[in-house]
Amino acid sequence: MYKTFLIKYAEIAIKGKNRYIFEDALVKNIKYQLRNVDGSFEVRKESGRVYVETDGDYDYDETVATLSRIFGIVGICPVELHEDEGFDKLCEAVIEHINHVYKDKSFTFKVNARRARKNYPMTSMEINAAVGEKVLEAFPETRVDVHNPQVMINIEIRPMINIYSEEIPGPGGMPLGTAGKAMLLLSGGIDSPVAGYMIAKRGVVINATYFHAPPYTSERAKQKVVDSRSQKDWRTGRAVFGNLIPSTTGAAKAISLVIPSLKDKMSGISYRVPTADVSVVDLNVALKKSTSYEDICRKVQEASMTYLSGILDCVDDEVVSSDFIGDSHASIFDLRQGIQVNSHFFKLICFYDNEWGYTSQIFRLIQYMNQIDTGR
């Protein structure tokens, strides 16, 4: 799987001395849009290009879908980066790329080289001809077509050698936030959302409002605005007040990164609920060894008073979520709400303040890192 995406832009390139403002806005928007995508991403710019790099596992389809909705991007290219180890190594990397990406080699191709690093010992035309020759030798079933190739093999000579042959189209336009703000009056019809999309594509931040004037506007028109589709899926566009909204969570995946022994043993879903703060974890566990719910509670209480003191807490009372607002613990185990199905299967309930509780754990982590760094 690719670890890097080369992001192409068009209109930004024609800007003058203020070009960096638009590039920085694009980088900021990419980081913001990728915040909820599974995976860890680094976004950087370099000589007229923006790179999105990932470290570890990530959701390829969701990443591409997210990038393809960001204004200012005209092309998303899954790219391979290689150190410059000479022309022979470059040709080997191109052949390996073709062999990996294309199972059927019966296609026409063109090599398109670009030297951003002008001190490279070969010209772009020389690279095109020499690499094309090596490709034909490696894959005799391929043919060169410089006018209408089925596959365009792109080579960019930069500090790292960029090799890619796929370009996924983006929406184009200018980065959001580079052309001021505007108010959009939603009518419930198709015209106003289309107008809003077109002006947002020019970099304008849209603030939408709906004017309900019965009997001139119907309840149906109002409901279409309330239930308008979000960027990711239909459900998350619904009003949170009055609804329980199924959603996703990366918590289970994150736990397996911290505790590798739990990899492929945990999964999870989440629900958006009409509360301002505090979350609840409903953990269903299947154990190899038989035990009782009383034994589990006793072990949790022991941990909360010893090696997990200040991190884990227990409560034996008729509590609700608002009772934990401002609680600094990472998890508060509800002793009364757990269920024992049998000696191997249990339901465990924990609360946590996802604002202050989370912040407190960040502070605790910083203190721990400082202790490690300073030896104190």
pLDDT confidence of residue 54: 93
Domain membership flag for residue 353? yes
**pLDDT tens digits, residue range 319-348?**
999 999 999 999 999 999 999 999 999 999
Domain membership flag for residue 60? yes
90 and 151 together in one domain: yes
pLDDT at 23 over 90: yes
Cβ neighbours of residue 223 closer than 8 Å, sequence gap 6 or more: none
Mean pLDDT along residues 69-78: 95
**pLDDT tens digits, residue range 187-201?**
767 788 899 999 999
pLDDT at 267 over 80: yes
Q: How far apart are CA 42 and CA 62, in angstroms?
A: 16
The last residue of one of the domains, among 210, 228, 246, is 228
51 forms bridges with which residues in the sheet? 6, 44
In 3D space, the residue among 213, 246, 240, 214 whose CA is nearest the CA of residue 227 turns out to be 240
CB of 7 closer than 8 Å to CB of 30: yes
Domain membership flag for residue 204? yes
Give the CATH number of the domain where residue 124 resides: 3.30.2300.10
Domain membership flag for residue 262? no
Look at the chain and report how many structural domains it folds into. Answer: 4
pLDDT confidence of residue 182: 94
Domain membership flag for residue 281? yes
132 and 191 together in one domain: no
In 3D space, the residue among 101, 116, 118 whose CA is nearest the CA of residue 152 turns out to be 101
In 3D space, the residue among 202, 223, 203 whose CA is nearest the CA of residue 214 turns out to be 223
Domain membership flag for residue 171? no
DSSP for 229-261 reads --SS-SGGGS-STT--EEE--SHHHHHHHHSGG
**Which of the two residues, 226 and 255, has the higher pLDDT score?**
255
In 3D space, the residue among 270, 250, 253, 271 whose CA is nearest the CA of residue 262 turns out to be 253
**pLDDT tens digits, residue range 135-192?**
999 999 999 999 999 999 999 999 999 999 999 999 999 999 999 999 998 876 778 8
Cα(first)–Cα(last) distance of the chain, in Å?
42
pLDDT confidence of residue 375: 80
Q: How far apart are CA 6 and CA 116, in angstroms?
A: 14
pLDDT at 210 over 80: no
Q: What is the mean pLDDT of the chain?
A: 90
Domain membership flag for residue 250? no
Is residue 110 very low, low, confident or very high in pLDDT (cuts 50, 70, 90)? Answer: very high
Task: Kindly give the residue spans of alpha helices, DSSP state H, lying in 73-211.
Answer: 87-101, 124-138, 191-200
218 and 282 together in one domain: no
The amino acid sitting at 242 is: G
Give the CATH number of the domain where residue 312 resides: 3.30.360.10
Three-state secondary structure call for residue 18: coil
120 and 45 together in one domain: no
98 and 77 together in one domain: no
**Which of the two residues, 247 and 306, has the higher pLDDT score?**
306
pLDDT confidence of residue 331: 95
pLDDT > 90: percent of the chain = 69
Tell me, yes or no, if the pTM score tops 0.75: no
User: Rg for the chain (alpha carbons), in Å?
Assistant: 27
**Which of the two residues, 245 and 4, has the higher pLDDT score?**
4
In 3D space, the residue among 163, 161, 2 whose CA is nearest the CA of residue 67 turns out to be 2
Give the CATH number of the domain where residue 10 resides: 3.30.70.1510
In 3D space, the residue among 199, 219, 216, 215 whose CA is nearest the CA of residue 207 turns out to be 199
pLDDT at 250 over 90: no
pLDDT confidence of residue 91: 96
Q: Hey, what long-range contacts does 338-343 have (CB within 8 A, 24 or more apart)?
A: 338/293, 338/296, 338/297, 339/293, 340/292, 340/293, 343/290, 343/291, 343/292
pLDDT confidence of residue 243: 85
pLDDT at 207 over 70: yes
pLDDT confidence of residue 173: 95
Structural domain range at position 15: 4-81
DSSP 8-state assignment for residue 322: G
Q: How far apart are CA 207 and CA 183, in angstroms?
A: 5
Domain membership flag for residue 260? no
73 and 88 together in one domain: no
pLDDT at 232 over 60: no
